[in-house]
Structure 1
Amino acid sequence: MKNSILSLLVVAALVACKKSETTTMDTAGDSTAITTPNDSAALNTDSTVMPSDSTSAGTGKTTGTNLSTQDKKFADAAARGGIMEVQMGHLASTNASNAAVKSLGAMMVKDHSKANDELKQWASAVGYTLPTGLDADKQKKYDDLKAKKGVDFDRAYTDLMVSDHKKDIAEFKEEASKGSEASLKAFAGKTVPTLEHHLMESEKAKSAVK
């Protein structure tokens, strides 16, 4: 009897020990399934994307909002001046009596229309809004010229073309040397020879008017 009881106790002890080991292994297995550290690492990886996105937005490119005062002043004056040259050139083609003056007007329309388009392309590229009409002073010059006919028109028009182009050349040279925005400076510099040619032709036409 004693041996039977001892045998039963040993078997019971062995069963209890195996059950304890099984519980410990299950618990360990469950704990290894927890992936919180990996998840948090993934979150940290995602969060590092934000700084690179935000820094890519800053290109350092000049825009219409950070142009220098010189650039804005020049662009506005060049836009208004170009509009006036085209409008007065059209007047010359109808109101002038001298062939040289008519030819001068046609050249002004062609060359200044091209320059105006280039200036508009620049403004679009940098996001700057150019004037689309004449200021009060240029509007008065246009209205006064429009009222003239024949020789009176020829004299008035050629006088204006000489004086205006002298002023334009000075302004374009100033922008080419003192401007801040590279593409606008380049536009001003390459347009100077055209303006100098206009001045020369204007002086010739003025001399041809009797």
Structure 2
Amino acid sequence: MKNSILSLLAVAALVACKKSDTTTMNTTGDSTAMMTNDSATVGNDSTMMPADSAATGTNSSVTANLSAQDKKFADAAARGGMMEVMMGQLASTNANSAEVKSLGAMMVKDHSKANDELKQWASTAGYTLPTSLDADKQKKYDDLKAKKGADFDRAYTDLMVSDHKKDIAEFKEEASKGTESSLKSFANKTVPTLEHHLMESEKAKAAAK
């Protein structure tokens, strides 16, 4: 009888030990799983942070580097380019001579290309360009639009000569005094085209007198 009781106690102790081991293992397993999941979550958050910075940092850093000169030039170039295209389009219908019509077509083609390049720069830099003429340029356009034939030819070629002299000076100033390298490069490479426009405008002006 005594031996039976001892045997029962031994079995009970053995079962208790096994339960304790199982509980310890489960607890350890749960802790390990939780730590793994938490670590994965932190890892994901850490991975996302640089991506967010990369998505927003590039444009803002370029915009922050723009000087007052850069912004003044970009705005003036955008409005000037728009006016050149609009006036060139008028020349196709309002001009009297074939030479002035041809001058207008060249202005539309070349300034549309330059305008697109400036817009591409602005998109990359995160800079907002003006989308309409200022009051002065709008008045010049409206006055020119009212003219026809020989009167149009004289007025248009006068404007093209005076405006391109002004444009060349502004583009050269940006090329030498600007801060943002891509905008300076755009200004510098556009100067020869503007100088060609001035030369052709002076020829057309002489023929229109």
Which TM-score bucket, shorter chain as reference? 0.7 to 0.9
Matched, 1:103 2:102: yes
2:58 corresponds in structure 1 to 61
C-alpha separation in 1, matches of 2:40 and 2:92: 70
1:1-210 paired onto structure 2 within 5 Å? 8-34=1-27, 35-42=29-36, 43-59=38-54, 60-63=57-60, 66=64, 68=66, 69-210=68-209
| Deviating 4+ runs (over 6 angstroms) | none
User: Identity rate of aligned residues, in percent?
Assistant: 63
Query: Which structure features the higher share of helix residues?
Result: 2
Q: How many angstroms does 1:145 deviate by?
A: 2.0
Contact 1:89 1:109 survives alignment (8 Å) = yes
Distance between the aligned counterparts of 2:145 and 2:205, measured in 1? 18
CA contact (8 A) 1:96 1:149 kept: yes
> How many pairs align?
203
Contact kept in structure 2, 1:62 and 1:181, CA below 8 Å: no
CA contact (8 A) 2:144 2:152 kept: yes
Give the Cα separation in 2 of the matches to 1:16 and 1:96: 117
Gaps of 5+ in 1: 1-7
* Unaligned 5+ runs, structure 2: none
Alignment-mate amino acid for residue 58 of structure 2? K
**1:62 aligned counterpart, secondary structure:** helix
Is 83-92 or 13-22 further displaced after alignment?
Answer: 13-22
Amino acid at match of 1:40: M
C-alpha distance after superposition, 1:168-191 (max 9, x if no partner): 112222333444444433322222
TM-score norm. by structure 1 comes to: 0.82
Question: Once structures 1 and 2 are overlaid, which stretch shifts more, 76-85 or 55-64?
Answer: 55-64
Q: CA offsets, 1:150-207, max 9 Å, x none? A: 4433332222111111111122223334444444333222221111110111122222
- Pick closer, same or farther for the CA change 1:14–1:91 going to 2, 3 Å: closer
TM-score by length of structure 2 reads: 0.82
Q: CA deviation at 1:131?
A: 2.4
